[in-house]
Structures are given as structure tokens and as C-alpha cells.
Structure 1
Amino acid sequence: MSAQPLEPRRPSLAERRKSETRMEIARTAARLFAEHGTAEVTADQIASESGVALRTFYRYARTKEDAVEPLLAAGAQRWLAEIAAGGRIPTSADFEAAAIRSLTLGDSPEDLEITRGLLQAMDSDPALRAIWHRINLEAERDLHRILVELSAPQADPFQLRLTAASAAGAIRVALELWAAADGPVEGIGSPADLVVRCMRRLHVAE
């Protein structure tokens, strides 16, 4: 008999608390950066408003700018998990459905507004831009790895790489357009709507 696949391990209470603390620090840092800019915010201020000691803050982030990474990366991680869970090379419809689920069922309205403010602040802040681009590059690489794992051995490596780049790029552009507009974009206002629109313009995976 073949072995049955193992159920995903449920995170321990300590792991869940660490994850919650890390996200709370990220939310606080993002809010402060959006309101004041990174130059005016200190790591000590982020730690204090997050309710943790400065020493604890540095267990979760190497620099004050790095603290926002969990918030910015959460949507991409959910989207990648959706793609991987499909068990096959995704079609355009699969990419769109995964994006809608990950963006609609993930961040709270408050987190979305914090993220929007952070992406707006990024335009004039090289440190935040560097983190945002790093997150997007890592998401593209992770997506490429997932596509390789799901594809047949004879799959075209050029097509897989291009698909990963275009899909990840569509999400990045959509979120940046949404943040910059600070309101509906040509009648399509939600991040999920804009992601789908960008993907259809690029004909991802077709």
C-alpha cells in the first residue's frame, strides 16, 4: 500500500504567538512609516507602540524597514499557496481565481489601508522600495519553482520562467496602481479587480 500524504502540521501555540507578534510589529511599522516617513520613525518607537521591548523587536527584524516585510508579503504567500494547492499547471483562470481568493479572503480592510499608505510612502523612500522589490522578486522565484514542480518534464523552461515573471509582475503593477490612485481606478477599485485586469492584459499562462 502506498503511504498516505501527511496532513500539514498545525503550528504550535508558541509559533502562532510569534507569528502574531511579528505581524503586529509589521502593522505598527507600516502605519508609522506611512504617516511620518521612515526617516522620522525609530525602531524604539515601533517597538514601544507594538508593545514589545526593543530587544524583542530585533529578534523579528534586522532593521526598522525590514519590519514591514510580513505585511507586504502576506498576500503573495497566500497566492502562492493557492497556486501550489491546485496540483497542476495553472491556467489564466486559475491564476485569477487564486488572486481573488488570496486578496479577498486575506487582509482585513484595516490592513489593506495600511498597505496602501505604505506603498504610497514607498515612492519617496528607497529603503521601502528595496524591500518591496525584494518581496516581489522572491515571489516570482517561488512561483517559478512551483511551476517547475507542477509541470511535465518536457515543459518549455522559457515559458515557465516567462509565466512566473508576468504573473508576479501583474500583481505588483496592480497593487501599485491601486495604492497610487487612492481610490477607484477607471471604475475598478479593489486590488483583486486590478490584478485580474492586469493579468488579462498580459494573457498570463495562455
Structure 2
Amino acid sequence: MTTTARRGPGRPSLTERRREDTRTEVSRVAARLFTERGYDATTVEDIAAGSGMALRTFYRYFRAKEETLAPLFAAATRDWVDRLADCPPELGLVDALLAAYRASVRHSRVTNGIDEAQLRALLRMMEGHPAFRATWLVVHRDSEDQLRPVIAARVGAAPDDLAVRLAAGTANTAVRIAMERWAVGEASVRSAEEAVAQALREVASGGLLAP
């Protein structure tokens, strides 16, 4: 008698995990090629070849090259949200958001090999490339939805409460804008972490993210 292992609720299947692993590996290759050669000079064929796959196979995972960084961006935001959920409940929301972000940046640097110089280069590439920027914005829109239940649990409210939605939207937007400003040299800080800290404290001072 053959038994089939059952998946827990919300747990991806082995096929789904393998697909996501492949997408992430292609994303790492694309990030490396974009920073080495530039966005315009890197073709879909380059990314497919660098990933060791046929062009036809590439299109099973991505529709175009501007989508290739989505897995890395999405993994970073998921890790940020997961780390926020694990922060001690006595830690204020702004401090928890910042601590989770800093830990997530360090994790991404180790697991994906993306240092601040590469991150800055990738974010700068969005300027003048609307399709690439659209991918970045979609990832951040998704992260806002992921933040809501975690913030709700920390403040003892429902995920759909207006205050929770505003807090999630404000935190997410603050991080995105801070990273974009830092990338193009507008922020008077030395690192993305400092830029994010500055932005979160700025919005907190207005009471939007106060506990």
C-alpha cells in the first residue's frame, strides 16, 4: 500500500518549491549580469545562457527580462515580514520594523550575494525603464499585504482596520522611497539601512506608526 505525504495548510508542493528555487537562481544570475553589463546590454538570451537553460525554458518562468529580479525583491520583502513577526512584542513597531529590515539586509547579503553597491546599481537601473520599475512596485504592493496581518497581530487589531492598513502602507512606502532616494544619492546617509531608519522615524514622528 502506497501512502502519499500530505502537505500542511499553505505549504507549497515540492514542484512549486522547485519552480521557485529555479526562478530565484535565474534572478541571481540576472542581478549579476545587470550589474556587470548594464540593464540594456543584458539580453534574455544572456540570462538564459548564464542560468544554464534554453531560451524556451526561460520563458516558462519569466515573460520578459524586467521580471527576472522579482523573485529576489519578493524574497527580501518576505524575509523582512517574517523577521518582523518574530520580533519581541514589547519592541515598539518602528523599532521592530527597523530591526527586521536590518536583519533581512544582512541575510540577503549572505544568501543572495547582493551587497549595497549591487543593490544601489540595480535600483538606479529603474530610472528610465518603466517596465523594470513596474516589477519593483508590484513587489512592494504585495509586501504591503503581507505586512498587514503581522502589524495587526502586534497591535491587537484586525488586518482590515484602517489604522493597520495605513500603518502597513506607510511603513512599506517609507522603506521603498528611502531605498530609492539612497540609490540615486538624494539621501544624506551612507547606507540603505540608515536611509530606511531615517524614513521610518520621520513618519513615526507624525504619529502614523506610533504604537
**Could you state the TM-score of these two structures normalised by the residue count of structure 2?**
0.76
Q: Does 1:52 align with 2:53?
A: yes
Aligned counterpart, 1:3: none
* Structure 1: gaps spanning 5 or more residues: 1-5
Q: AA paired with 2:114? A: D
Partner residue of 2:4? none
CA RMSD of aligned residues (A): 3.2
Q: Whose RCO is larger (CA < 8 A, sep 6+)?
A: 1
Superposed counterparts of 1:1-206, under 5 Å: 18-34=19-35, 35-38=37-40, 40-86=41-87, 88=89, 91-108=93-110, 110-112=113-115, 113-153=117-157, 157-181=161-185, 185-186=187-188, 188-203=189-204, 205-206=209-210
Residue 119 of structure 1 deviates from its aligned partner by 0.9
Task: Tell me the number of residue pairs that the alignment of Structure 1 and Structure 2 aligns.
Answer: 195
Counterparts of 1:155 and 1:44 in 2: how far apart (Å)? 43
Residues 56, 156 of structure 1: alpha-carbon distance in 2 compared, 3 angstrom cutoff = closer
1:16 CA drift (Å): 6.7
Q: Tell me which moved more, 15-24 or 171-180.
A: 15-24
Kindly state the Cα deviation for residue 121 of structure 1 after the two structures are TM-superposed: 0.9
Q: Deviations over 1:119-157 (max 9, x none)?
A: 111011011010011111111121123333555357992
Per the alignment, in what secondary structure is the counterpart of residue 114 of structure 2?
helix
- 1:46 Cα deviation (Å)? 0.9
Identity %: 32
Paired with 1:205 and 1:194, the residues of 2 have a C-alpha distance of 17
